[in-house]
Structures are given as structure tokens and as C-alpha cells.
Structure 1
């Protein structure tokens, strides 16, 4: 069974279930997410921090984040998780109805990924969704919206400081481009996504990038990824097949080709010297 989004045009409640093998990847979290790990283990890397979530763990992921993940089924079992997506439209409506507003710009009180302490209220909420999932019963739009609002209320009750994150509707502000790129170069996303996350238009991003790095973003990204690859192979003994996706390359053969062009030898030969 793969990931399913339950009877709603916009993913509000999503159930993930995988068997047999790990699944690795990366994604852009465009909305806040409240999740529960039912079985298996999830590892999330945000560039400067790694979080590991095991069976029974809860988590909150802040919107506008680049994340890498590894979904690992339990030994002899599966990977199962439930996620509630808290989209901006729903949060705006909730804020207007109950008079909430953020007191901090860009949600400064929260990390990209926040582990949430287990609580019977969180557990009871997730358990209320399980009969629909087990019985393969569709959760219609109005009921999903109700559950979404219940999730917001629970987060505000048990983690009231998240108010400043949930109801911060500002777009990313202009930030330190050099620091951001050195942290996130290994994410395989389009330049327009990098531009958005640094608070710039694509044209301004390219102009500022040239001013700082004196080259184009595409050339810099390839060189920076190759530099990191050389370090991981020569100093850490990693193999090309282990790291090419981790560093933002889509294809192993292409990675090997550009690596050899840059360093005069294929990754496998460099590894033999370690």
C-alpha cells in the first residue's frame, strides 16, 4: 500500500503505508504538517539538523521548508504514519474566527521540525482517524475540515507557543543568500524555489548570486556538490551510489561523468585510494 490522501481535493489528511524496503527522497513542505508515527521510523534532515521519529512519536513540520527523508519499515513490519496538513486558507479562517494573530515575524519561535511530547489528547485524536483508515472508509470534505480544526485546537492547547508559527502568514523575508545556499546546496530543487525561500524574485536571486559567488547558480551548485562528494568519498569512504542522491544529483551515471571531468578520475578510483 502506498501513500493515500483521503477523499479531498486538497490533501488534509494523508496516510502513508509502505512494506519491505526503505524509501528515501526530498520534498518542499509548503504547508504546516502535524504527524504521528504509527509504525517504523522516519528520519528527517533539514540541512543543519537530523530528527528521528519512531513508533508513537508526534511531530510538527513548519511550512516553507526543504527536507530530506528516509522512511524505514519496522523489522518484519511496515512504515505507517498519519499526517494532517494545516493549509494557509484554513488557518486564516481559524484566526479570523477566534481572533488569533502571530506576535513574531516568520515564526521565530519554532525550528523547521519540532518533536512533540506524547500526550493522551494527541493519541486520542489520531486514534479517531484510524477506523476510517482501517476500514477503508472515505472521510468526506466537511469531516476532514472538522478534524483539521480539531488538530489546530490541540496544538494551541498543548503547545501554545506554536501560535506564532501557525498564524504567521508572511512570505519568506530576504535573508543571507550565501549562508542559505551553503546550508541547502544538496537539495535538488528548481532555482525559483531557492529564490522564493531567500525572499527574492528569480531575477534578483540570480543577480545577488552573481554578486556574491561570481558565477551562475547552476555552475556553483554543481561545483559545491562535487566538492562535497570528493570530501565524502576521500575522507569518509562513502560510495558514489550512496551519496549522489543525497547531494542533489538525479542520475548516478551523470554524477560519475561530471566527477571524473572535475577530478580526472571516477569516484570508484578515488575511493580505492582511501
Structure 2
């Protein structure tokens, strides 16, 4: 795997990936503003999938589970400029801005800005700084992040509902959350955090509700979803295993055969 990241500040980076495919399941602790230079990315969330290509600009909100699959394309590497919109930066930005309470805590989703010229100009202006030998001046970095936030607010009047929401996850309904998000291959600690629980409380609540261990339940649900994709959607095992939460094809094939008595490659 050939993966390179250049930082001009801790919150602004250029990532380059040359291998065939890179997949991760993650929850970002800050909002990510991304501009694609080349390659493709598929982002899978509980209720929707997205495919982003060269030139696309999008915002991934914090504290939301997603499977991210990066691909080189047309002989070019997967390459993107990424800006972290941290809670600290956003609190500073919004410190003198009055936001009505009704505009906060709305539905959070990935926001696509469809190659918007103002955002593209802002992010493209960062490219020369990645080749600088001297450190990137912090005051310029701060201005660039402020510029990006200001443009987002100008082109999306509802973006404050995302950017100005500083609350952490509270204790939520475990059944509803797990039924929507079981396909994400996250640690149990992370599942606990996102449902407002410590690991021990998560395990205790889970056993009480589902009458089994989290790992057994997760494996069962992921195999059921894989079976559905293979039978009903006519997908190939190689196209399914990552989307349902398995790390590699051999582990998926072993678990699938153990559950159903035949290899996933034999599904017609």
C-alpha cells in the first residue's frame, strides 16, 4: 500500500493513495471538508451510499459512522485536500454569531457542494503551500479555515445546524442504533461512545436487550445482510464483504460457510 499524507498544519492535509483500494470504517471526531483532485471515494452510511469523483467537494460531519472506500481512477492516484473543522475552531468562529436554537440539532448527513467555484478556489489555493520548505504560517491557516466556513454558510443556509452543534452523544436507544449501524466494523468501545455508554455499560445493556454478546449478534446480522446482497441483489462476494463489516474476504467466506453450510461463491 502506497499512502502518503502531507500536513501544512494539523488541520489541513493533502492525502495521496496509489494502491488498488483502501477501506476504513470510522467516526471522525471533527467535521471533514474534502476536495477531490483525482480518484474516487465510496462512502456508505446506515441509510445511504455516496460516490464522489474528481472535482467533488463534500463535508463529512463528525460523530457519524461511515465505511469509506478509496480508489485510484484512470491511472491517477486517489488524491484529496482535506480540512478539519474542529470544535475549537468552530466555537471560536460562532462565538459572536447568534444562531436560533431551532436551527441546531437537525438531521445530519454528508453535504455535497458539486464542484462549487468558491469552495474549489479556497481549497485549491492551499496546493502551493504543500511544497513549501518553511512552516505554514498559523495565521494564514486560520484565515483559510475561516474563509471555508464563511463560504459554507453563504452557499448552504442550513449548514449552521451541523457546524454550530457542539454537543457530544448522549445515551440513546440501543436497539434502534444497532439495527441501523451494525454493518460498520467499529470497536465495541466506539459503539458504546456513540450510544452514550462506557464499554462496560454498553456490554451490560446489550446482553440484557439482545440476550447474546455484541460480537455474536454483529456477526449474525452482517452475515444475514451479506446473504441478502448475494441472493437478492446478485452481488459478488468480493463486492459484499467490506460493505457488511468484514475485514477480509477469507474471513467472510469462512464465517458465511459456517453459518449457511456453503461458500458465498456458490450462491447463484
Counterpart CA distance in 1 for 2:93 and 2:175 is: 37
Distance 1:254 1:127, change over 3 A: closer
Select 1:107's aligned residue among 91, 105, 108.
105
Give the aligned partner of residue 243 of structure 2: 246
Aligned counterpart, 1:85: 84
Aligned-residue offset at 1:50? 1.2
Aligned-residue RMSD, C-alpha: 2.5
1:174 aligns with 2:175: no
Cα shift at 1:71: 2.2
> Cα distance, 1:106 vs. partner?
6.3
Mapped partners of 1:61, 1:136: distance in 2:
30
Match of 1:4 in 2: 5
Structure 1 SS opposite 2:256: helix
Counterparts of 1:236 and 1:119, CA distance in 2: 35
Change (3 A) 1:73 1:256: closer
My pick for the range that moved more, 253-262 or 147-156, is 253-262
Alignment length (residue pairs): 267
| TM-score using structure 2 length | 0.87
Aligned to 1:76: 75
How far residue 167 of structure 1 moved from its aligned partner, in angstroms, is: 1.5
1:105–1:168 CA contact under 8 A, matched in 2:
no
Query: Within 1, Cα distance between the matches of 2:113 and 2:214?
Result: 37
Given candidates 253, 257, 260, the residue that maps to 1:260 is: 257
Query: What's the CA shift for 1:181?
Result: 1.2
* Inter-CA distance 18–173: structure 2 relative to 1 (3 Å threshold): same
Contact kept in structure 2, 1:37 and 1:54, CA below 8 Å: yes
1:195 corresponds, among 173, 192, 196, to: 192
Q: Which residue of 2 aligns with 1:51?
A: 50
Post-superposition Cα deviations, 1:207-244, rounded to whole Å, max 9, x if no partner, equal: 33233322221111011112222223333343434332
Matched, 1:232 2:229: yes
Partner of 1:69, secondary structure, is strand
Greater mean alpha carbon deviation, residues 57-66 or residues 119-128:
119-128
Mapped to 2, the partners of 1:246 and 1:134 lie a distance apart of 36
Which residues of 2 match residues 135-154 of structure 1 at below 5 A?
138-154=135-151
1:140: Cα distance to partner?
A: 4.1
> What SS class does the counterpart of residue 215 from structure 2 fall into?
helix
- 4+ aligned runs moved over 4 Å, structure 1: 134-138
Q: How far apart are the structure 2 equivalents of 1:178 and 1:43?
A: 27
State whether residues 33 and 61 of structure 1, in contact with CA within 8 Å, keep that contact through their aligned partners in structure 2: yes
Distance in 2 (CA, whole Å) between partners of 1:49 and 1:89 is 29
